[in-house]
Structure 1
Amino acid sequence: MQETFTISELAKYFDVTTRTIRYYEELGLLTPERTKSGQRVFTKKEKTRLILIFRGKKYGFQLEEIKEMVDLFDQDPSGKRQLEKTIEYGEEKVEEVSKRIRELTEMRDEMQSLIGEFQQKLNQLKGEKV
């Protein structure tokens, strides 16, 4: 018998709301089975998909990108296509992060320069009052 989970169990395990898990289901990221009474039953496969979803979100991937990467594994169980797409998206994400680092570094340098100018002006104003 395969280990299964309720939506509440997964929500508690991942420290998210059940609404979050239902939302991922609505987007097609998860495809839980249902009991005769309509209750969702999640398998280890869905739990693994949630791990991948949260990892992808942590690294800044959009849910559409995550869905594409996860779906590729279902289409090609060898994982080759999924790895190729993940590498492609990963390289794009590294470039985005590098660009953001450059922008933030430039902003920090500009702010440090302004602070220096402001400090110099403040020192001049203090000197005039003495």
Structure 2
Amino acid sequence: MNSKTTYSIGELAKHFDVTARSIRFYEEQHLIAPERQGQSRIYHAKDKVRLKLILRGKRLGFSLAEIRKLFELYDTNPNSAAQLEIMLQLTQSKRAVLEQQLNDIQMLMNELDEVEIRCQEELNEIKRGLL
């Protein structure tokens, strides 16, 4: 898929390592809108870019509703400050959630360390008693 201007669903699925069913789902959610020729879907460069952005957004933890909102803002005004402001708000919100999760994980790791140390000490005591 170099300078090609149209793509089949199979080509996009292979390129992005997703299923054709996933791509059809994004279409049902009005995130991408391929051209139709009979039963075939013809995807253009815009659809390819949007699919890339959808997958990146999902990887970053954005909901499809949040991704749709960004697309709608972009479609209304491609150079929108509102789009950038919402993107900043979303990224700050995701960062806060991830930082909280990271803190929670660190607390759990510390608790596991303590349990592991206590278990190892008790096991050592039992083994000494058996000698």
Among candidates 6, 10, 22, match of residue 8 of structure 1:
10
- 1:21 maps to 23
- 2:106 maps to 105
Within a 5 Å distance, the mapping from 1:1-130 to structure 2 comes to: 3-35=5-37, 37-130=38-131
Structure-1 separation of matches of 2:81 and 2:49: 18
Structure-2 separation of matches of 1:113 and 1:126: 20
- Code of the residue aligned with 2:83 in structure 1: it is Q
- Cα RMSD of the aligned pairs, angstroms, is 1.3
* Structure 1 moving runs of 4+ over 3 Å: none
| Shift of residue 81, structure 1, vs aligned partner | 2.1
Percentage of pairs with the same residue: 37
Structure-2 separation of matches of 1:70 and 1:127: 67
TM-score w.r.t. the length of structure 2 is: 0.92
Q: How many residues align?
A: 128
- The answer for unaligned runs of 5 or more in structure 2 is none
- Contact map agreement 1:32 1:42 (CA 8 A) in 2: yes
TM-score w.r.t. the length of structure 1 is: 0.93
- Contact map agreement 1:33 1:41 (CA 8 A) in 2: yes
Deviation larger for 3-12 or 107-116: 3-12
Please list the CA deviations of residues 37-68 of structure 1 after superposition, one character each: whole Å capped at 9, or x if unmatched: 24211111111101100111111111111111
In structure 2, the CA distance between the partners of 1:80 and 1:38, relative to structure 1 (3 Å rule), is: farther
